[in-house]
């Protein structure tokens, strides 16, 4: 009876994921392998081997990678410092970190667009102190900056929570046993917070590689990433098949990278144990 009840409780979720996850995925696969008339074809995937598409994929991965690394470099030490603070400060800082997440992503991106524009405050400041205008919008710098700003909280929060859960006595024990500061970090703190790092990386990398709004607004229409390409296929070219093919390839890319990272985390767990 209880298992029946469980099934009953699961039913809405199962229904939901069938309708809104499974069916759309199947549709993506269907469109990928059919042409406009509905006949089976590999043509949509073959098109993607074109040099211009490969370079879009390469750039998207590269920018997402850069954004992830920068987020990690900022987030890890920051989380460590926060986790060492008194809990009152910790709570305040948590709120400050989450604050940008409460503002709609589109508004955040649009604000950055204004800030970075040729007449924006940064360039006005540069002009006032005699450096002259530096064109920032439409450069890869602006796009990566936008990604870092928008997704940084997703890196900090999981790392911070794993830092907070870290058993302080383990650090004390290793220090008592004569480990140097570097060794404590390298052999105790880092391995124990790795799960947080891995989920942080995933949570930054995945939205970065699939974003199209950030690159469209901060890239001035001059920087085109996978997300833009997919959007173009559906909204402008009305080519659902190629659009689906690109989506499928992107999903596979994301799956691979997540799998690689999980593998990395598993290996490390075993090594630690």
Partner 1 sequence: MKKIISIILSAVIAFSLTACGSTSNSNSDYEANYKNKLKNTELNVFNWGEYIAEGEDGGMNVIKEFEKVTGIKVNYNTFDSNESMYAKLNSGTAYDILIPSDYMIERLINEKKLQKLDFSKLTNYKYISDDYKNLYFDKKNEYSVPYNVGMVGLIYDKTKVNPAPDSWSVMWDKKYKGQILTFNNSRDAFAIAQFLLGIDINSTNKKDWDKAAKKLKEQNPLLQARVMDEVFGKMESGEATIAPYYAGDYYTMLDTNENLGFVYPKEGTNIFVDSICIPKNAQNVDAAHLFINFLLEPKVALENAEYLCYASPNTAVVSNDEYSFKDDEILYPSKDKKPKTEYYHDIDSKTRDYFEKLWEEVILN
Residue 135 beta carbon to partner 1: minimum distance, rounded to whole angstroms: 6
Residues that bind partner 1 (CB under 8 A): 52-53, 55-56, 117-119, 135, 137-138, 220-222, 224, 232, 234-238
Residue 39 beta carbon to partner 1: minimum distance, rounded to whole angstroms: 17
Q: CA–CA separation, 55 vs 52, rounded Å?
A: 5
Q: In this complex, which beta carbon is closest to partner 1, that of residue 138 or of residue 258?
A: 138
Name the residue among 155, 164, 161 with its Cα closest to residue 101: 155
Residue 42 beta carbon to partner 1: minimum distance, rounded to whole angstroms: 18
Residue 234 beta carbon to partner 1: minimum distance, rounded to whole angstroms: 7
Q: In this complex, which beta carbon is closest to partner 1, that of residue 23 or of residue 222?
A: 222
Backbone angles phi, psi at 40, to 5 degrees: -65, 135
Residue 52 beta carbon to partner 1: minimum distance, rounded to whole angstroms: 4
Q: In this complex, which beta carbon is closest to partner 1, that of residue 104 or of residue 119?
A: 119
Q: In this complex, which beta carbon is closest to partner 1, that of residue 92 or of residue 237?
A: 237
Q: In this complex, which beta carbon is closest to partner 1, that of residue 196 or of residue 243?
A: 243
**CA 131, chain centre distance (Å):** 34
Helix (H, G, I), strand (E, B) or coil at 82: helix
Long-range contacts of 51-56 (CB under 8 A, 24+ apart): 53/229, 53/246, 56/224, 56/225, 56/226, 56/229
* Residue pair 144/70 in contact by the 8 Å Cβ criterion: yes
Instruction: Give the count of alpha carbons within 13 A of 66, CB side only.
Output: 15
Helix (H, G, I), strand (E, B) or coil at 224: coil
């Amino acid at each position: 009876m209880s298992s029946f009840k469980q099934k009953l409780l699961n039913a809405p979720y199962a229904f939901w994921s069938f309708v809104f996850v499974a069916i759309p995925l199947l549709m993506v696969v269907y469109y990928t392998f059919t042409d406009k008339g509905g006949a089976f074809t590999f043509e949509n995937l073959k098109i993607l081997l074109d040099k211009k598409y490969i370079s879009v994929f390469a750039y998207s991965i590269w920018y997402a990678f850069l954004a992830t690394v920068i987020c990690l470099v900022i987030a890890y030490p920051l989380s460590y410092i926060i986790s060492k603070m008194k809990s009152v400060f910790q709570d305040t800082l948590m709120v400050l970190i989450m604050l940008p997440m409460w503002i709609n992503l589109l508004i955040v991106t649009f604000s950055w667009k204004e800030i970075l524009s040729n007449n924006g405050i940064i360039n006005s400041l540069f002009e006032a102190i005699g450096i002259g205008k530096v064109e920032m919008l439409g450069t890869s710098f602006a796009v990566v900056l936008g990604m870092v700003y928008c997704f940084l909280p997703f890196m900090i929060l999981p790392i911070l929570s794993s830092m907070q859960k870290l058993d302080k006595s383990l650090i004390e024990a290793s220090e008592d046993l004569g480990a140097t500061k570097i060794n404590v970090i390298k052999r105790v703190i880092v391995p124990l917070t790795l799960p947080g790092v891995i989920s942080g990386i995933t949570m930054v990398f995945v939205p970065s590689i699939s974003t199209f709004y950030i690159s469209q607004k901060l890239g001035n229409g001059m920087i085109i990433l996978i997300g833009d390409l997919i959007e173009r296929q559906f909204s402008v070219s009305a080519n659902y098949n190629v659009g689906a093919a690109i989506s499928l390839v992107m999903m596979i890319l994301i799956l691979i990278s997540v799998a690689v990272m999980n593998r990395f985390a598993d290996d490390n767990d075993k090594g630690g144990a």
